[in-house]
């Protein structure tokens, strides 16, 4: 119980990065950029001026904040909602010197401008800076191209062809640069029109809302990436993805990563603008030609285009001719942005939903038992597990709220870890596994645990026997195979063989749902699902909570009914394992749902269904020994899954005879 704090406190860094207020954020951003610049031991004049400019701008912003607070100008709502989006972008925008820090400080100190005016000024400054940066980049590209040209001429390798190619590239760069400049201006105008940039005179403006802050992060990143980012060779992170990937990867999720990613991204772009050597730029350019987000596999990846371009220059030509800055391209760009945003929104919603689902299911699995003593693994181990361990899906668990209505049926798969072994004590009693724990998902989830830890699985012998049989390919096992399954799947059953084997035999004989079938090889045991169905109504009617939970799970899984019925009709195995293949979470969830549904559906079809999985093998058999069980005590251990785990431990020798060992457990 105590070790849970460790995993819960991992996100401290991100919490710090989240930065409560924009002021701190400003400082942090400046510091970061200062650090990134300061990593080079000797700052040149440009860097120093750059830093000074940042500091001056920051002072200006602080003053603006102060002024707005004192004059009662209300901060725009979006400022509260997206505090982290404002600064990093804006800071990164300011590279070239447009107004000297001294000038800026003068302006600020004299306070001759209103906040709105200052903001307009800032935005204009930043737009200018961006343009200057673009031009600077363009210059560098030109230099690099000229250098390449010279080198190629010097080398005398197909000079004409190379020259042409370089010229084409140069032209393409020019065009792209121009396009991006136009695009940026158009973005600005559009955003202003849409009110995303609050620089209207009559409207309370964001004090710290500079040029870029009003822009949608995706848009901004796309812009930046197209201008500079993709040219960076060592930009291993987001820039290696396509533009959309960049957006979804870097802008979605939570604020802190977003901020840091933005910072990193911009730091790298700034850095490459000023620090890249020609050699690196060359490499970067090469990388860019190969990794242009809109070009791949000889096809233009502009949404809805897919035009074939044999090489990169032709792609650029195509890009500039077909996707030039016009209404259509702009509209497509906006649509794409909306698509990305929508996807992000959907993703976040689905994440929330999934988390709520998992939380809900785990909350149920952590239902505290009334019994004061830990009676089984479910009540003891799972409880500690849920509080301390992240789920395999790395979803955070929310602590069990005492007021949450807890129901025992719809438990999700519970994962037991070795950290909770200490909770495993002598277990006398099996958890009442009817409708409680989906055995297959529990076994699947905790398979390694059960295999390695000598803990008794929280299921009855009957449940385990049934599971073993249902896991077999033909839904039938000999007694010895059942034994082997027990020893293979559970370390616990590798000792005290006489005891549990006797119990297995006892259960097989006692419970009507286990049918002994004699075939040519000998006797095998199968599971009679009809017997299982027979008893369910009694159980359900006897327990209102069970009825409720059956209904709950039924409603929950309603969309799956058809598939479930279909899959059950064919002995049930493949459907969910196929559908959820490769996803343990889905597998266990599906199997859990399925186990719940087994009972519900079969209950509904209980008047002699021919599709009962247990039937088909029996019909091919000769002697079926029908037991005349009075009121069977145990034949229906709840809806056990028909989904197989079929994960046999390779290191375990099923033929090994685990003989009795000193009994040191199960003693009471």
Partner DNA sequence: GAGGAACTAAACATAC
Partner DNA sequence: AGTATGTTTAGTTCCT
**Chain positions contacting DNA, by CB under 7 A:** 369-371, 375, 428-430, 432-434, 459-462, 478-480, 483, 496, 498-500, 502-503, 505-510, 516, 523, 525, 543, 625, 627, 631, 633-634, 637, 657, 663, 666, 668
CA distances from 351 to 386, 395, 414, 458 (A): 19, 9, 20, 31
Task: Return the number of the residue (151 or 499) whose C-beta is nearest DNA.
Answer: 499
CB of 216 to DNA, least distance (A): 54
Task: Please report which helix (H) or strand (E) contains residue 85, including its range.
Answer: helix 83-93
Nearer of residues 138 and 658 to DNA, judged by Cβ: 658
Nearer to DNA by Cβ, of 80 and 668: the residue is 668
Query: C-beta of 561: minimal distance to DNA in Å?
Result: 27
Number of H-type helices and E-type strands within the chain = 27, 5
User: Which two tokens mark 196?
Assistant: 């995303």
Shortest distance, CB of residue 375 to DNA, whole angstroms?
A: 4
CA distance 650 to 232: 48
| CA distances from residue 243 to 8, 271, 310, 658 in whole angstroms, order as listed | 33, 20, 21, 59
CB nearer to DNA: give 39 or 668.
668
Task: Give the Cα-Cα-Cα angle 216, 221, 222 (nearest 5 degrees).
Answer: 100
Q: How far is the CB of 499 from DNA (least distance, A)?
A: 3
- Beta strand 295-296 with 522-527 is unpaired
Q: Which residues pair with 519 in a beta bridge?
A: 522
Closer to DNA at the Cβ: 20 or 522?
A: 522
Residue among 309 and 503 whose Cβ is closer to DNA: 503
Non-local (6+) Cβ contacts of 202 within 8 A are none
Q: How far is CA 277 from CA 73, 133, 271, in A?
A: 47, 16, 11
Is 328 or 656 the residue whose CB approaches DNA more closely?
A: 656
Q: Which among 421, 250, 141 is positioned nearest to 242, based on CA atoms?
A: 250
Shortest CB 556 distance to DNA, Å:
22
How far CA 429 is from CA of 371, 374, 436, 668, in Å, comes to: 12, 10, 15, 11
Least distance CB 608 / DNA (angstroms): 22
For DNA, give the closer residue by CB, 455 or 508.
508
CB 232 within 8 A of CB 269: yes
Picking from 259, 257, 275, 319, the residue whose alpha carbon sits closest to that of residue 84 is 259
What is the rounded CA–CA span in Å between residue 265 and residue 252? 15
Query: CB–CB of 250/238 below 8 Å?
Result: yes
Phi and psi of 623, rounded to 5°?
-95, 115
Burial class (CB in 10 A: 0-12, 13-18, 19+), 564: buried
Angstrom distance (rounded) from CA 427 to CA 178: 75
The rounded Cα 36 to chain-centroid distance in angstroms is 30
Structure tokens at 560: 């799956």
What distance in Å separates the CA atoms of residue 107 and residue 472, rounded to the nearest whole number? 81
CB of 492 to DNA, least distance (A): 9
Geometric angle at alpha carbon 402, from 401 and 404, rounded to 5°: 70
> Which single residue is written with the structure tokens 């800026």?
104
Q: Which two tokens stand for residue 153?
A: 């001429």
CB of 461 to DNA, least distance (A): 4
Closest distance of CB 392 from DNA, Å: 26
CB-nearer residue toward DNA: 651 or 668: 668
Residue 240 Cβ vs DNA, minimum distance, rounded to whole Å: 54
CB of 636 to DNA, least distance (A): 8
Compute the least distance from the CB of residue 386 to DNA, in Å.
19
The smaller minimum CB distance to DNA, of residues 368 and 399, is found at 368
Starting at the edge strand found earlier in the chain, the sheet holding 623-625 runs 522-527, 514-519, 623-625
162/432 with CB nearer DNA: 432
* Residue entry with tokens 């040029």: 211
Contact between 552 and 408 under an 8 Å Cβ cutoff? The reply is no
Give the whole-angstrom CA distance, residue 158 versus residue 168.
Answer: 15
Residue among 388 and 460 whose Cβ is closer to DNA: 460
Q: Quickly count: other Cβ atoms within 10 Å of residue 261's Cβ.
A: 20
To DNA, the closest distance from the beta carbon of 296 in angstroms equals 58
Which CB sits closer to DNA, 32 or 512? 512
Quote the least distance from Cβ 368 to DNA, whole Å. Answer: 12
What 3-state DSSP class applies to 581? coil
Torsion of CA 431, 435, 438, 443, to 10 degrees: 20
Q: Are 492 and 659 in contact (CB under 8 A)?
A: no
Output 295 or 483, the one with its CB closest to DNA. Answer: 483
Q: Least distance from C-beta 656 to DNA, angstroms?
A: 12
Q: Please state the closest distance from residue 362 (CB atom) to DNA, in A.
A: 20
Closest to DNA by CB, 151 vs 371, is 371
Nearer of residues 315 and 492 to DNA, judged by Cβ: 492
> How far is residue 642's CA from residue 614's CA, in Å, rounded to a whole number?
10
């Amino acid at each position: 119980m105590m070790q849970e704090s460790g995993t819960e406190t991992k996100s401290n860094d991100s919490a710090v990065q989240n930065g409560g207020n924009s002021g701190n954020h400003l400082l942090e951003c400046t510091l970061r950029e200062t650090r990134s610049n300061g990593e080079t031991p000797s700052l040149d004049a440009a860097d120093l001026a750059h830093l000074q400019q940042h500091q001056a701008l920051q002072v200006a912003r602080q003053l603006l904040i102060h002024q707005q607070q004192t004059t009662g100008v209300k901060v725009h709502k979006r400022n509260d909602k997206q505090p982290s989006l404002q600064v990093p972008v804006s800071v990164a925008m300011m590279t070239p010197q447009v107004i000297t820090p001294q000038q800026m400080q003068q302006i600020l100190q004299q306070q001759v401008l209103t906040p709105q005016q200052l903001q307009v000024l800032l935005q204009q400054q930043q737009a200018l800076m961006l343009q200057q940066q673009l031009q600077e980049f363009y210059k560098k590209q030109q230099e690099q191209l000229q250098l390449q040209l010279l080198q190629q001429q010097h080398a005398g390798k197909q000079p004409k062809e190379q020259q042409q190619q370089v010229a084409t590239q140069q032209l393409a760069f020019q065009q792209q640069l121009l396009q991006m400049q136009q695009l940026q201006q158009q973005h600005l105008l559009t955003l202003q029109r849409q009110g995303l940039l609050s620089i209207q005179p009559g409207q309370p403006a964001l004090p710290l809302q500079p040029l870029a802050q009003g822009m949608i992060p995706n848009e901004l990143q796309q812009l930046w990436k197209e201008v500079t980012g993709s040219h960076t060779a060592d930009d291993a992170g987001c820039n290696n993805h396509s533009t959309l990937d960049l957006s979804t990867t870097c802008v979605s999720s939570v604020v802190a990563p977003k901020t840091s990613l933005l910072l990193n991204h911009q730091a790298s772009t700034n850095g490459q603008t000023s620090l890249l050597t020609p050699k690196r730029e060359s490499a970067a350019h090469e990388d860019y030609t190969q990794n242009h987000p809109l070009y791949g596999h000889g096809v233009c990846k502009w949404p809805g285009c897919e035009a074939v371009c044999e090489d990169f220059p032709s792609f650029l030509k195509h890009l500039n001719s077909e996707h030039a800055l016009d209404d259509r391209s702009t509209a497509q760009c906006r649509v794409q942005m909306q698509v990305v945003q929508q996807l992000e929104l959907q993703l976040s919603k689905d994440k929330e939903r999934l988390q709520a689902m998992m939380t809900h299911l785990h909350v149920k699995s952590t239902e505290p038992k009334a019994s004061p003593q830990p009676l089984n693994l479910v009540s003891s181990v799972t409880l500690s597990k849920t509080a301390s361990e992240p789920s395999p899906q790395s979803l955070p668990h929310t602590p069990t709220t005492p007021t949450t209505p807890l129901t025992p049926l719809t438990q999700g798969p519970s994962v037991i870890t070795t950290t909770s072994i200490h909770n495993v004590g002598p277990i006398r009693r099996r958890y009442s596994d009817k409708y409680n724990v989906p055995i297959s998902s529990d076994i699947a989830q905790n398979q390694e645990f059960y295999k390695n830890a000598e803990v008794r699985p929280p299921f009855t012998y009957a449940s385990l026997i049934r599971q073993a049989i249902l896991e077999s390919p033909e839904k039938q096992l000999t007694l010895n195979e059942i034994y082997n399954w027990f020893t293979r799947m559970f370390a616990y059953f590798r000792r005290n063989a006489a005891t549990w084997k006797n119990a297995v035999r006892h259960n097989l004989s006692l419970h009507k749902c286990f049918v002994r079938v004699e075939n040519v090889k000998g006797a095998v045991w199968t599971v009679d699902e009809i017997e299982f169905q027979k008893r369910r109504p009694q159980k359900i009617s006897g327990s209102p909570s069970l009825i409720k939970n059956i209904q709950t799970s039924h409603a929950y899984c309603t969309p799956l009914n058809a598939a479930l019925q279909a899959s059950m009709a064919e002995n049930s195995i493949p459907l969910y394992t196929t559908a959820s293949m490769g996803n343990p979470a889905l597998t266990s969830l599906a199997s859990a749902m399925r186990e719940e549904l087994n009972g519900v559906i079969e209950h509904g079809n209980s008047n002699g269904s021919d599709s009962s999985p247990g039937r088909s093998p029996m019909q091919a058999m000769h002697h079926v020994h029908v037991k005349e069980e009075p009121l069977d005590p145990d034949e229906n251990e709840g809806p056990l899954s028909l989904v197989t785990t079929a994960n046999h431990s390779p290191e375990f020798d099923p033929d090994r005879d685990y003989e009795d060992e000193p009994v040191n457990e199960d003693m009471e």
